Structure 1
């Protein structure tokens, strides 16, 4: 039996065409509902679609919320809008506005984390440029989940947050930022470096702890292998490290000039009171300090003191060290107004 062709009544066809035209006009006509100037928009993490549309209305990007809400209902995938800071061009249609927000590339911020800063300072730098606070980052870097995921046998990720210049997602989570930095260390710390660490009779925590002390002692990459040799020589002789930066870490707060009374601070991190390495890193060392511990200079040095003009003087004996201290004090007197 032949199928009979069904044709819609002309009034219904006209109504359908009119409806499609109206829908196309509603969705795609530029400037119908949007501002005539560029407008800024900040989308925080976990902000819902309706809240975003509400902010678009408040900041003057759109004249009315309902056309945008209806557009989002027609095309639900446009509800997915990344956290970030947007500058919305003028004269967009309802569809193009949502498509722009939905497809816009991730808002990234380039941040430099210097060598030798501790966990608290990392948190302060990141929170000053990204959309989370320092307390949240501290919590993320100390969470059982992160420590277990990256096999960190410590109370937090101090020492594992590899310094460098990186691009971070502005709206990313503190967990993602902490994990990213630990992964940078994991990528650097190759199997061959793990082999060298084991050959030197150290574990990962010990390596990072000593590297953090070296990092805190000198900013000069050329000096780091020599400084590392001093501490390794002292460890071999079962001498206390007597590293001033460990006392600074034990005292907490802003770094300052140490006094003799500070050297008796009751802390496992105080290497003037306790033999061996402290319980963990005191800052986040850079790659040069880590490699300095794995590839130290071959020296007999057991002591060093600042020159007063940059760098350090090294000594094999206590007598020679005391002479270097005199030189340091003289240099300070010469440079003090």
Structure 2
């Protein structure tokens, strides 16, 4: 007989189906039925209230539900713990709203690409993510032209604002110094000092460390001639030694490009310094270098006023009898051969002329019109004397300029 006390998993008693036969409980029991019911109850009690097979108890159903909820609930907790950062990345912005605050200096290294720059910015908390900066850079054609250097930026900037700082070269923090051709080393130090604020004494001290400066061994520790004249941009926190080393490197780079061996670099720079001092125009410089080589080959003294003026520490286009009487090894009127070192710091065209002199028989030259820089070359002494007379006539017409 079916046990009508069976209930749903939600604990509600089932209603009789429509048309079903009335339950025996709906009429009075006979004495026989009552005894049978009594015996059935006793047997049920002895079996410990076991249900028939295939019919799970209400408690068993409830246990399954509770276990399922526990499993589901635990999965939700685990998912929340591990998936929250991933979800947050999609839900939260990868960019700061800007405009940012504070200041931080960012260095863009030589050759750094967009990803490398993005990492630097993200590491310094200038931008919120590398992705934000890279996306901004993709939409800005000028981003390919970001120049290496130091930039002053803010923390937590909008990526497009950070990019706008970097694409403008005017935002690079640099110290600019312009070094003209032909200056002596002792004249260059004040130029650098004025631009950088570093005392002249520090440049003088740095110039004595030949190894740190990268001077070729043939220079014998003398920096004169190797401070390449150019327009320089020095980054913040660089030293006097850094500046001089960079200038020396510019000179040796050009010597190497011309195929000058290290052991010949000093001689080349001595000739180049003479060419720089004596010739104004680029077209004349290889010819002046040839005059130097031809006179040395003929064992003739160079007789350059520029070397004498370097020895006595003055600038000019002529010398006096007293000047030419000095016993300095730089006095090429009295001492044959090249001076013991460069007499200034030549530019690229003078260096090239010294390394590659023009072909020609000239032994003499003189600038006949110093105002215009007009220079005439001669093979014979008589030709040269005629040119010298032209120069002297110019001096007579321009008192105080010779």
* TM beyond 0.5: yes
The 5 A counterparts of 1:217-228 are 217-228=278-289
Task: Name the stretch that deviates more: 170-179 or 236-245.
Answer: 170-179
Deviation at 1:237, TM superposition (A): 0.4
Q: Which residue in 1 is equivalent to 2:276?
A: 215
Which SS does the other structure have where 1:203 is aligned?
helix
- TM-score scaled by structure 2? 0.55
Q: Kindly state the Cα deviation for residue 319 of structure 1 after the two structures are TM-superposed.
A: 1.5
Which of 325, 329, 333 is residue 268 of structure 1 equivalent to? 329
8 A contact 2:272–2:350 mirrored in 1 = yes
Aligned residue among 271, 279, 282 for 2:343 = 282
Could you tell me which residue of structure 2 aligns to residue 176 of structure 1? 242
Kindly tell me: are residues 270 and 147 of structure 1, through their superposed partners in 2, closer, same or farther at Cα, counting changes over 3 Å?
farther
RMSD: 3.8
Deviations 1:283-334 (A, max 9, x none): 1111111111222222211111111242212111111111111111122333
* Conserved 8 A contact 1:223-1:311: no
Q: Is the 8 A contact 2:228 2:345 kept in 1?
A: yes
**Structure-1 residue corresponding to 2:319:** 258
Which of the numbers 183, 187, 195 marks the counterpart of 2:253? 187
- Choose the corresponding residue for 1:326, options 385, 389, 393: 389
For residue 202 of structure 2, the aligned residue among 136, 154, 157 is 136
Q: Is the 8 Å Cα contact of residues 214 and 245 (structure 2) preserved in structure 1?
A: no
Higher relative contact order (CA 8 A, sep 6+): 1
Which structure: larger Rg? 2
Q: 2:380 aligns with which of 307, 312, 317?
A: 317
Report the secondary structure of 1:292's partner residue. helix
Partner of 1:234: 295
CA contact under 8 A between 1:247 and 1:262: conserved in structure 2?
yes
Counterpart CA distance in 2 for 1:285 and 1:307 is 22
Supply the distance in 1 between the matched residues of 2:338 and 2:325 (Cα, whole angstroms). Answer: 16
Total equivalences in the alignment: 258
| Unpaired stretches in structure 2, ≥5 consecutive residues | 1-97, 103-123, 126-149
> How far apart are residue 107 of structure 1 and its match?
2.4
Residues 131 and 170 from structure 1, CA distance in 2 versus in 1: closer, same or farther, beyond 3 angstroms?
farther
Is the Cα contact below 8 Å between 1:209 and 1:277 reproduced in 2?
A: yes
For residues 110 and 152 of structure 1, the distance between their equivalents in structure 2, rounded to whole angstroms, comes to 31
Contact 1:159-1:284 at 8 Å conserved across structures: yes
